[in-house]
């Protein structure tokens, strides 16, 4: 009997076997793919419009600048409808656009943040940039005899939050009183301002104290003007009033014998926190100095050197000699002062390292893009910030830092990371303020686990607003940045990655002035205060403000 055999089945080959490639084919395919990758992307046009934040109309003849990193690639101007075009660009992210025109200022957040170009912006309708009509303040300044106070310096002053309460600072460029007694401050963002007038010491009016509108010597008692977009406030007039003045004398110690001039330059700077022209005198060969006609107030006396050497009528820097600086605070009240001592100290090197608290989930990636800044706490002759970019290991070094007090600010942390603690030479620093009078080493501890904020915004009639923003403002005005987030049609909002600290909350339909930075605005709108702790979650409902 013949043995039965099973019919032969055709077993399909596996996909792998069916499409397997030889080594030569793999090499050829890799070569072809590399050629494709080397073909540059087709050039495209980047189009956009610059609009007025108030009228929402296009703004003609605006200068628009295109840059990539630190390089300016091209400039153009908008047409009569506010439109612009940059042709023949590789469509990629990373470009930056900046728009400028006289009579306008940069818009407020979040509109002012829309300048970094994404690949999607190369498609219609393109990029929208915004500018806000600028404000101005004008008036006359007369001296006590009724004559124009020619040469007096005029500044717009804003009120802001500070670590120890409200602080007053200059906004925009200063102006000068002309021969008619007229001044004009312009290019100001909409908001609240007072005006300061500082007499010109060279005209013999040094005994007149700086005054604030409408004629007070204390900025906390000044009247603030509320300016809308595009508004000019005129007739903001002043009359300078003479006050009792005093003489301040002292001595600078620590002037090295190898200084060519054997003298130090001494500045007497108002400690009000408001920048103004500070008188400067040189010490004599014994280190003595004198300031005349000093109005009552709090001052920082800062001495530094060596100054430049005059060679054939021209100033030349002193080679191979390090700067020395020192400062002291003095209060001028009701009598002359003759015993001020200012010790000079060498400039210092400040180094340190950022340490990630891995138990909280922090890693070196937290600070990969962070930047450290030393902000002078006390007034200095020049408003100088000392900045350092962290290395890949978190290390940093700052050279030639003058002896003074500084506040340490670090911004640019990734994710939920924040600066938890600062130690100087192994000791924790209170309020993140350090005193530098020699070389020091710092250790900065970074933790993860910042907070989250949620809530609902309602209109005054208890209805849900259609759209708007929630603004988170740090109470101390220093340690964190202002944050904004939109709320939806139900009024609900969510804001994450908030560093620990105290904050004020405001809800508004749009930001049309810088009032949200003014502590008085918080009081007027009953802006609630929250304290965010590490890893906490807070729910806070808000009322829509004006």
Question: Any idea where the domains of the chain sit in the sequence?
Answer: 44-133, 135-239, 246-344, 347-448, 451-543
HEC states along 182-234?
Answer: EEEEEEECCEEEEEEEECCHHHCCCCECCEECCCECCHHHCCCEEECCCCEEC
Q: Which CATH number fits domain 451-543: 3.30.590.10, 2.160.10.10, 2.60.40.10, 3.30.70.20?
A: 2.60.40.10
Q: Which residues pair with 226 in a beta bridge?
A: 192
| Confidence (pLDDT) at 15 | 41
Per-residue pLDDT of the chain (546 residues), as tens digits, is 444 444 444 444 444 444 455 666 666 666 666 655 555 556 788 899 999 999 999 999 999 999 988 789 999 999 999 999 998 888 887 888 999 999 999 878 777 766 888 777 778 888 899 999 999 999 999 988 899 999 999 999 999 887 667 888 889 889 999 999 999 999 999 999 999 998 775 543 344 567 899 988 888 889 999 999 999 999 999 998 877 889 999 999 998 887 777 889 998 888 776 655 677 889 998 999 999 888 888 899 999 887 554 444 454 555 556 788 999 999 998 899 999 999 999 999 999 999 999 888 888 888 888 889 998 888 887 666 788 888 888 899 999 898 888 988 888 888 888 888 899 888 888 778 899 989 999 999 999 888 999 999 988 776 667 788 999 998 876 656 788 999 988 899 999 888 888 999 999 988 889 899 999 999 888 999 999 998 899 999 999 886
Residues 6+ apart with CB under 8 A from 188: 105, 134, 135, 136, 137, 156, 171, 172, 227
> Could you check whether 135-239 and 451-543 share the same CATH topology?
yes
CATH number corresponding to 347-448: 2.60.40.1120
Q: Which CATH class is domain 246-344?
A: mainly beta
Q: Hey, CA dihedral for 203, 206, 211, 216, is it positive or negative? A: negative
| CA–CA separation, 478 and 14 (whole Å) | 66
Question: Taking a C-beta distance cutoff of 8 angstroms, is the pair 131, 53 a contact?
Answer: yes
Q: Which CATH number fits domain 135-239: 2.60.40.180, 3.40.190.10, 2.60.40.420, 2.60.40.1120?
A: 2.60.40.1120
Q: Is the pTM above the cut of 0.85?
A: no
Of 361, 364, 439, 442, nearest to 396 by C-alpha is 442
| CA–CA separation, 445 and 442 (whole Å) | 10
| Confidence (pLDDT) at 84 | 94
Q: Which CATH number fits domain 44-133: 3.90.1150.10, 2.60.40.1120, 3.40.50.300, 3.40.50.720?
A: 2.60.40.1120
| Confidence (pLDDT) at 176 | 94
């Amino acid at each position: 009997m013949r043995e039965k055999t099973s019919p032969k089945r055709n077993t399909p080959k596996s996909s792998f076997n069916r499409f397997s490639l030889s080594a030569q084919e793999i090499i050829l395919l890799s070569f072809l793919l590399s050629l494709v990758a080397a073909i540059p992307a087709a050039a495209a046009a980047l189009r956009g419009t610059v609009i007025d934040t108030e009228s929402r109309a296009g703004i003609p003849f605006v200068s628009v600048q295109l840059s990539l990193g630190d390089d300016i690639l091209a400039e153009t101007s908008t047409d009569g409808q506010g439109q612009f075009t940059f042709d023949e660009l590789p469509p990629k992210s990373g470009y930056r656009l900046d728009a400028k025109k006289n009579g306008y200022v940069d818009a407020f957040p979040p509109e002012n943040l829309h300048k970094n170009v994404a690949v999607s912006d190369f498609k219609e309708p393109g990029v929208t940039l915004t500018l806000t009509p600028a404000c101005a303040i004008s008036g006359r300044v007369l001296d006590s005899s009724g004559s124009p106070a020619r040469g007096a310096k005029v500044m717009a002053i804003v009120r802001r939050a500070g670590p120890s309460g409200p602080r007053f600072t200059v906004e925009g460029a200063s102006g000068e009183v002309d021969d008619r007694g007229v001044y004009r401050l312009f290019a100001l963002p909409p908001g609240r301002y007072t005006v300061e007038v500082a007499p010109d010491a060279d005209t013999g009016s040094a005994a007149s104290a700086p005054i604030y509108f409408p004629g007070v010597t204390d900025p906390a008692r000044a009247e603030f003007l509320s300016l809308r977009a595009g508004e000019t406030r005129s007739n903001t007039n002043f009359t300078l009033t003479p006050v009792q003045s005093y003489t301040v004398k002292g001595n600078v110690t620590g002037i090295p014998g190898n200084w060519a001039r054997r003298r130090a330059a001494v500045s007497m700077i108002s400690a009000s926190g408001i920048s103004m022209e500070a008188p400067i005198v040189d010490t004599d060969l014994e280190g003595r100095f004198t300031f005349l006609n000093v109005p009552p107030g709090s001052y920082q006396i800062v001495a530094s050197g060596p100054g430049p050497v005059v060679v054939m009528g021209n100033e030349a820097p002193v080679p191979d000699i390090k700067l020395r600086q020192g400062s002291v605070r003095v209060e001028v009240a009701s009598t002359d002062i003759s015993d001020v001592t200012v010790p000079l100290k060498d400039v210092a090197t400040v180094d340190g390292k950022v340490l990630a608290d891995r138990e909280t989930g922090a890693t070196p990636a937290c600070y990969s893009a962070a930047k450290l800044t030393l902000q002078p706490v006390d007034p200095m002759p020049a408003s100088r910030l000392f900045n350092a970019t962290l290395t890949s290991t978190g290390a940093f070094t700052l050279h030639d830092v003058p002896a003074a007090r500084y506040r340490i600010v670090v911004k640019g942390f990734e994710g939920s990371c924040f600066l938890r603690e600062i130690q100087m030479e192994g000791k924790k620093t209170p309020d993140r303020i350090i005193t530098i009078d020699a070389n020091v080493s710092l250790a900065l501890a970074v933790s993860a686990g910042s907070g989250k904020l949620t809530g609902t915004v309602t209109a005054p009639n208890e209805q849900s607003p259609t759209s708007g923003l929630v603004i988170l403002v740090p109470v101390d005005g220093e340690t964190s940045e202002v944050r904004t987030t939109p709320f939806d049609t139900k009024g609900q909002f969510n804001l994450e990655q908030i560093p620990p600290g105290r904050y004020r909350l405001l809800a508004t339909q749009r930001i049309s002035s810088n009032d949200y930075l003014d502590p008085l605005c918080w009081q007027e709108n009953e802006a609630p205060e929250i304290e965010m702790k590490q890893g906490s979650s807070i729910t806070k409902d808000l009322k829509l403000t004006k």
